[in-house]
Amino acid sequence: MTTDSKQKMAPVRGMQDLLGEEAARFEHVVDRFRDVARRFGFRPVMVPVVEHTRVFQRTLGETTDVVAKEMYSFEDRGGESLTLRPEFTAGIARAYVSEGWQQFAPLKLVTHGPLFRYERPQKGRYRQFHQIDAEVLGAGEPAADVEIIAFADLLLKELGIGGVTLQLNTLGDAQTRTAWRAALVAHFSAHMEMLSQDSRRRLESNPLRILDSKDAGDQALVADAPGIDGFMSAEAGAFFESVQKGLQASGVGFVRAARLVRGFDYYRHTAFEFVTDRLGAQGTVIGGGRYDGLVEAMGGPPTPAVGWAGGIERLMMLVDSPVTAVIDVAVVPMGAAADAEAAAILAELRSAGLSTEQGWRGNAKKRMERAARSGARVALILGDDEVAAGTVTVKLLDTGAQEQVARGDLRARLAKLLA
Partner RNA sequence: GCGGUCGUAGCUCAAUUGGUUAGAGCGCCGGUUUGUGGUACCGGAGGUUGCGGGUUCGAUCCCCGUCGAUCGCCCCA
Binding residues for RNA (CB under 7 A): 6-8, 10, 13-14, 64-66, 70, 87, 117, 119-126, 129, 131, 198, 202, 206, 209, 213-215, 262-264, 273, 280-287, 309-311, 313-314, 334, 362-366, 368-369, 371-373, 379, 381, 383-386, 393, 395, 397-400, 402
- Nearest in space to 172 (alpha carbons), one of 235, 242, 218: 235
DSSP 208: G
User: Which positions ≥6 away from 176 have C-beta within 8 Å?
Assistant: 228, 231, 232, 233, 236
Dihedral of CA 333/338/339/342: which sign?
Answer: negative
Least distance from RNA to the Cβ atom of residue 335, Å: 7
Task: Give the integer Cα–Cα distance in Å for 229 and 220.
Answer: 20
3-class DSSP assignment, residue 251: coil
User: Which positions ≥6 away from 256 have C-beta within 8 Å?
Assistant: 167, 168, 169
Least distance from RNA to the Cβ atom of residue 265, Å: 9
Q: Do residues 332 and 370 make contact, with C-beta atoms less than 8 angstroms apart?
A: no
Task: Give the integer Cα–Cα distance in Å for 324 and 346.
Answer: 22
Least distance from RNA to the Cβ atom of residue 232, Å: 22
Least distance from RNA to the Cβ atom of residue 394, Å: 10
Cβ count within 10 A of residue 62: 10
Task: Give the integer Cα–Cα distance in Å for 204 and 210.
Answer: 11
3-class DSSP assignment, residue 3: helix
Could you list the beta-strand ranges (E) of 171-304. 255-256, 268-275, 284-290
C-beta closer to RNA: residue 280 or 302? 280
C-beta closer to RNA: residue 108 or 117? 117
Angle at 272 between CA 267 and CA 275, to 5 degrees: 135
C-beta closer to RNA: residue 150 or 309? 309
Least distance from RNA to the Cβ atom of residue 134, Å: 12
Three-state SS sequence of 32-88 = HHHHHHHHCCCEECCCCCEEEHHHHHHHHCCCCHHHHHCCEEEECCCCCEEEECCCC
Least distance from RNA to the Cβ atom of residue 393, Å: 4
Least distance from RNA to the Cβ atom of residue 8, Å: 6
Least distance from RNA to the Cβ atom of residue 312, Å: 8
C-beta closer to RNA: residue 119 or 339? 119
3-class DSSP assignment, residue 234: helix
- Nearest in space to 211 (alpha carbons), one of 167, 152, 148: 167
C-beta closer to RNA: residue 92 or 371? 371
Least distance from RNA to the Cβ atom of residue 280, Å: 3
C-beta closer to RNA: residue 105 or 225? 225
C-beta closer to RNA: residue 233 or 407? 407
C-beta closer to RNA: residue 237 or 335? 335
C-beta closer to RNA: residue 321 or 399? 399
C-beta closer to RNA: residue 234 or 401? 401
C-beta closer to RNA: residue 361 or 416? 361
Cβ count within 10 A of residue 116: 22
Least distance from RNA to the Cβ atom of residue 403, Å: 10
Phi, psi of 358 (to 5 degrees): -140, 145
Least distance from RNA to the Cβ atom of residue 103, Å: 28
User: Which positions ≥6 away from 154 have C-beta within 8 Å?
Assistant: 36, 39, 40
